[in-house]
């Protein structure tokens, strides 16, 4: 059961227990120090090596995702990944997606009133159905909050994903019953944590209290957890994508800084910690290696943006890591090693990958347009 009240969260908190902000000297919390001691090898305890295993993750499949996600599904199934994790933004919602529009019988042009009632069904039919019974975990993006959609409608529509056997079993272990847009599940020695920062009412007090409890459990000596991987739609504050992240609203900055501090303390305590987000439509590693975070410590949280599942592709930030790429489609494959460390590798998709995996009604010329264009660099060219 998740520990409650050991550290806890209060909306009155302006900063995490151990990570001091606003030019106050950095200090590791006592909780993290104790947890680090608990992680030291114990007398008589043998360390057994585990075989490597893999998973896949990406986000942002609006616009052209009906063409891209089937190719992702084909790849992750072929390489026998353990699951696929989608970090949100399934459909555009503000207007019909280009892929959906192109597959309308007789070239019918959808208006917004016709589009909205079928948008989420299209995501299920032309994206999720590609996986068959392959395990898929969903996160909520800001386009799942475009009116008239909201968090409650999201939970209702995607109940079967949010109540997957792994998630339901974890809730039972944690002693909770309510299906939320945030959840976690433990795979081997890795705790995969899906948080919801898709709307400006997050992180809410309820979600923060839940997340603090998850981290407290993972830090306990008998948790068996070596690694914490947090998946979210928008990046935590002060990344090199800060113009399109939780920095956009006051509660996002305040609670996002706290969560960064909690995760940093977990890393300082000996856990392997990784933070993966999407929202920005490109691939970019080392996103928290910024002057803001490095003023406190040289070792920042490992953070990666992977928003390349079909959405209109953005230009890279000026200070993006040199390994960053845009005008691509693809996903990250994470390889989990026996010691809990994870190596991430970008898997790019070719135009032929999209064509080979296409639905029968998907026009090849529209796939070609999506592959070559669908980006800031040549916004809305002639098709």
The pLDDT confidence band at residue 238, using thresholds 50, 70 and 90, is very high
28: pLDDT strictly greater than 60 = no
The pLDDT confidence band at residue 4, using thresholds 50, 70 and 90, is very low
Determine the average pLDDT of the residues in 143-171.
97
Q: 278 or 19: which carries more pLDDT confidence?
A: 278
Q: What's the CA gap between 237 and 275, in Å, rounded?
A: 12
Q: What's the CA gap between 231 and 280, in Å, rounded?
A: 14
* 9-23, 74-88, 89-103, 317-331, range with the lowest pLDDT: 9-23
Residue 113 backbone dihedrals phi, psi, to 5 degrees: -65, -35
The domain made up of 58-378 has a fold known as Transcription Regulator spoIIAA (3.30.750)
Q: 58-72 pLDDT, tens per residue?
A: 999 999 999 999 999
Q: What is the crossing angle of helices 250-268 and 205-219, to 10°?
A: 0
Q: What's the CA gap between 64 and 66, in Å, rounded?
A: 6
Q: 171-195 pLDDT, tens per residue?
A: 999 999 999 999 999 999 999 999 9
Per-residue model confidence (pLDDT) at position 9: 56
Tell me the domain boundaries of the chain: 58-378
286: pLDDT strictly greater than 70 = yes
**Is 70:359 a contact under the CB 8 Å cutoff?**
yes
Q: 23 or 103: which carries more pLDDT confidence?
A: 103
**Percent of the chain beyond pLDDT 90?**
83
287: nearest Cα among 272, 308, 302, 265: 302
CA distances from 314 to 19, 63, 311, 319 (A): 32, 13, 9, 14
CB atoms closer than 10 angstroms to residue 151: 18
HSE-up of residue 12 (Cα within 13 Å, Cβ side):
1
Determine the average pLDDT of the residues in 294-298.
90
Per-residue model confidence (pLDDT) at position 381: 43
List the structure tokens of 305. Answer: 């943006």
Per-residue model confidence (pLDDT) at position 29: 42
Per-residue model confidence (pLDDT) at position 376: 86
């Amino acid at each position: 059961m998740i520990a409650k009240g050991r550290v806890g969260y209060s909306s009155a908190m302006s900063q995490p227990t151990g990570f001091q902000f606003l030019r106050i000297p950095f200090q590791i919390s006592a909780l993290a120090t104790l947890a680090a001691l608990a992680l030291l090898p114990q007398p008589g305890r043998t360390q057994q090596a585990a075989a490597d295993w893999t998973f896949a993750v990406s986000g942002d499949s609006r616009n052209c995702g009906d063409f891209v996600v089937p190719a992702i599904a084909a790849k992750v199934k072929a390489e026998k990944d353990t699951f696929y994790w989608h970090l949100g933004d399934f459909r555009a919602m503000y207007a019909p997606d280009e892929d959906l529009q192109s597959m309308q019988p007789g070239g019918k042009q959808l208006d917004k009133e016709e589009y909205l009632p079928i948008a989420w069904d299209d995501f299920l039919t032309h994206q999720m159905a590609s996986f068959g019974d392959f395990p898929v975990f969903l996160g909520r993006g800001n386009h799942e909050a475009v009116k008239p959609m909201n968090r409650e409608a999201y939970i209702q529509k995607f109940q079967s994903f949010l109540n997957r056997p792994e998630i339901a079993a974890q809730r039972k272990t944690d002693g909770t019953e309510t299906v939320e847009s945030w959840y976690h599940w433990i795979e081997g020695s890795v705790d995969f944590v899906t948080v919801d920062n898709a709307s400006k009412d997050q992180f809410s007090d309820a979600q923060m209290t839940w997340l603090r409890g998850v981290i407290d459990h993972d830090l306990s000596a008998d948790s068996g957890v070596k690694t914490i991987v947090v998946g979210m739609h928008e990046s935590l504050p002060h990344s090199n994508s800060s113009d399109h992240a939780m920095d956009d609203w006051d509660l996002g900055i305040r609670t996002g800084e706290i969560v960064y501090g909690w995760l940093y303390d977990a890393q300082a305590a000996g856990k392997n910690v990784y933070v993966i987000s999407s929202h920005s439509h490109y691939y970019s590693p080392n996103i928290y290696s910024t002057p803001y975070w490095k003023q406190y410590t040289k070792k920042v949280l490992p953070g990666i943006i992977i928003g390349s599942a079909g959405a209109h592709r953005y230009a890279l930030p000026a200070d993006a890591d040199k390994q960053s790429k845009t005008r691509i489609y693809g996903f990250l494959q994470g390889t989990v090693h026996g010691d809990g460390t994870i190596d991430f590798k970008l898997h790019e998709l070719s135009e032929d990958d999209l064509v080979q995996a296409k639905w029968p009604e998907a026009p090849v010329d529209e796939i070609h347009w999506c592959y070559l264009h669908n980006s800031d660099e040549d916004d809305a060219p002639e098709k």
